[in-house]
Structure 1
């Protein structure tokens, strides 16, 4: 049945705010920033077309190489660390006890807590002389505890640790939702067959949770490329760019150095890398994700 002209106009009017918002705040900025990546523009100067010069500069820059390595290192810590911890917490809290709701809320609370408040607390924990962590290590007999945020070897792992602590509750909730869709009779059958808890975990829980794990993996990969607030508040990318990741490097070039064209090129390289990893994950999805 064809819609009348009045119905079509009414539908368009209702859709107009969403369509206009999508164009103004999404599609037009995406296209404009892609075009900007081919220009040399310092905001207050006239844009100058430079072609692929920004991209060539990125691939030739030792600083950019270091930032890419930092980003890969951060992802290597954050993605498996957050997913593994979230899975463990979800399994432990997947029961009917009344106290489980309290613990679920407690683990989810950091995710909705202000990042500034989180980083202020963790800066005190990581403090070299008066921090809770180093005092605890000293109590265990560890001498010369690291200066977590001032040591190039520990700054990025410290940022990754705080990021995992803040986000793990969100991933836990997603995995917990997946766990609650698993038929309990499957566990009963495995128990009758003599399967131990660890065997039930790897033979029943993990295979039936792979769809949720795949979804969480994609989210964690995306999140690992967007680390900014925690880096900015904890280390400001230091020391000596040891904790500078790609998203923070984009911010520095765009809003500190005002190299808008270079920052736009960095952004599109980041999007390309993220898209490539996402496609690879979708390609291998059939090999380990059980849809049944």
Structure 2
């Protein structure tokens, strides 16, 4: 049967479900999505729900849930205190110091760590053997475990046998210098370690962004007579804006979660001067068996993190895929 050329032949349009079924996407979704949802629910959703439920109670963590009735005493395992845990948290001087320290971590990450990472990325982003070696050297600290990093620098900065002792001897000081036991040197040391450790992570983000810039664009700029700095500030940096926003996003969320470096180096000392929000939660919540108070701090952290992620996505990252 012949069909005239001017007659359009329309095929039945497949629905989205039919397309997913035909190309195998539905099978992949059914295989990989349920385990991911299960893991996310067990390790993120349920703990946050529990923290929200425990936060209005004064509870040591022993026994069942705090609102359960103790048959021996006739009272619940926890005592309802309402918003007192939040009031105590906001009025606690150690919490205020930990909040300031967390903001300092974020500020140093954005103002020092990211510019340094971007500068190094601009120097070694081109493909060559020597640049590959430099990338490996700068990225290795990020691979190292945070606890191992903290332990190493706690030894390095020890006044009895670390580099601090060598420096004290070099300066001719009679008394050894213990930077991790002095305020505010302890937290300055933590900031330096954080910059050193996560510098390579941001550098690799910028290297990936620089390598995605078309060579034709750079060549056109050179033909038009653009100098090196003009190429950097007028072409490369504007095209790096998506990478910059991602790097800042990770820096802020990472700053809110700093914990593993702090504990082996100072454990929040001296006199609670080097706590971050997470180490404060751990020390005043779990170590002191005040699970209700620790849950209140966890709820505060969760609200701050979610609010930042939502506002950042709606403002800075608007229109980015």
- Specify the TM-score bucket, using the shorter chain as the normaliser: 0.7 to 0.9
Residues 152/14 of structure 1: CA separation in 2 closer, same or farther (3 Å cut): closer
Residues 208/94 of structure 1: CA separation in 2 closer, same or farther (3 Å cut): same
SS at match of 1:198: helix
Residue 35, structure 1, aligned to residue 46, structure 2: no
Tell me the alpha carbon deviations over residues 85-138 of structure 1, each in whole angstroms, 9 at most, x when there is no partner: 211221111113211111111111111113333223322332336543674698
The aligned residue for residue 249 of structure 1 is 280
Determine the C-alpha separation between the residues in 1 that align with 2:221 and 2:313: 31
Determine the C-alpha separation between the residues in 2 that align with 1:280 and 1:106: 35
Aligned ranges 1:125-136 → 2 under 5 Å: 125-128=156-159, 130-132=161-163, 135=166
Residue 259, structure 1, aligned to residue 286, structure 2: no
Residues 185/35 of structure 1: CA separation in 2 closer, same or farther (3 Å cut): same
Determine the C-alpha separation between the residues in 1 that align with 2:33 and 2:223: 56
Q: State the shift of 1:290 in Å.
A: 9.3
Aligned ranges 1:122-271 → 2 under 5 Å: 122-128=153-159, 130-132=161-163, 135=166, 147-271=178-302
Gaps of 5+ in 2: 1-14, 64-76
Residues 18/290 of structure 1: CA separation in 2 closer, same or farther (3 Å cut): closer
Determine the C-alpha separation between the residues in 2 that align with 1:103 and 1:242: 36
Determine the C-alpha separation between the residues in 2 that align with 1:270 and 1:169: 26
Superposition TM-score, scaled by structure 1 size: 0.85
Q: How many residues align?
A: 286
Tell me the alpha carbon deviations over residues 141-173 of structure 1, each in whole angstroms, 9 at most, x when there is no partner: 797996321111111121111112111112211
Determine the C-alpha separation between the residues in 1 that align with 2:32 and 2:196: 41
Determine the C-alpha separation between the residues in 1 that align with 2:222 and 2:206: 22
Aligned ranges 1:279-290 → 2 under 5 Å: 279-285=310-316
Question: After alignment, is 232-241 or 81-90 more displaced?
Answer: 81-90
Determine the C-alpha separation between the residues in 1 that align with 2:31 and 2:245: 38
Q: State the shift of 1:253 in Å.
A: 2.2
Q: Is the 8 A contact 1:208 1:290 kept in 2?
A: no
Greater C-alpha Rg: 2
Q: State the shift of 1:185 in Å.
A: 2.5
| CA RMSD, 1 decimal | 3.1
Determine the C-alpha separation between the residues in 2 that align with 1:155 and 1:94: 34
Determine the C-alpha separation between the residues in 2 that align with 1:259 and 1:146: 35
Residues 15/224 of structure 1: CA separation in 2 closer, same or farther (3 Å cut): closer
SS at match of 2:151: helix
